[in-house]
Amino acid sequence: MKFCSACGASVSLQVPAGDSLPRHVCVDCGEIHYLNPKMVVGAIPVWEEKILLCRRAIEPRLGKWTLPAGFMENRETTAEAAARETLEEACARITVGPLFALVNIPEISQVHLFYRAQMLDLEFAAGIESLEVALFAESDIPWDTLAFRSVRFALERFFEDRRNGQYGTHAQDLSLLHSHTKEGT
């Protein structure tokens, strides 16, 4: 950020009164511009024993497999975001269930949420951001060509919980250096 989005003047990095971190402050109108983490919300769409995955048609990780997920929009709920992304990327309609995984990636200021979801029918197809979309049994998941570590975490925990017959809510902090898993109750 170099310019004030409110008035177009320059911004400078300053610690505002009563604050503890440097912020982009407008040198003209004084507006303080805060930068906040972004939420990426996705679904784990289930049909019988299988999971719906999308192969990415866009960077990053073009050609790799992912759960349908994307940046949450203003004025929607997390569940609405999960359903919208599934419709956009996989042309599939789902009923969104409970929150299943929350993954922090602080180095890029992102929080990823994945919801359990039930597919309403067998209609699905590659959306504009997908090369192909397919249902995978656990034994066929393309573990070596998954796009994101948060997707791997959600899938691993999902199959583990399914084997145990009880689904929880799982959390993980991802870093380029290490990863730390924190389990919920």
Q: What residue ranges bind Zn ion (CB under 5 A)?
A: 4, 6-7, 9, 26, 28-29, 31
Distance, CA of 144 to CA of 146 (rounded, Å): 6
CB of 22 to Zn ion, least distance (A): 17
Which of residues 47, 50, 80, 134 is near a second copy by CB under 8 A?
80
Contact segment (CB under 8 A) with a second copy among 29-37, 45-53, 118-126, 134-142 equals 29-37
- What φ, ψ does residue 112 adopt, rounded to 5°? -105, 130
Query: Across the strands, what pairs with 39?
Result: 111
Q: Which of 12, 14, 77, 95 binds a second copy (CB under 8 A)?
A: 77
Four-residue CA torsion sign, 74, 75, 79, 80: negative
* Shortest Å, Cβ 5 to a second copy: 4
Residue of the chain from 25, 53, 67, 99 that contacts a second copy (CB under 8 A): 99
CB of 182 to Zn ion, least distance (A): 40
Q: How far is the C-alpha of 45 from the C-alpha of 17, rounded, in Å?
A: 47
Q: Which is nearer to a second copy, 53 or 79 (CB)?
A: 79
Q: Is 78 in the site for a second copy (CB under 8 A)?
A: yes
Beta bridge partners of 136: 51
Neighbour-count burial of 47, counting CB atoms closer than 10 A to its CB (0-12 exposed, 13-18 middle, 19+ buried) = middle
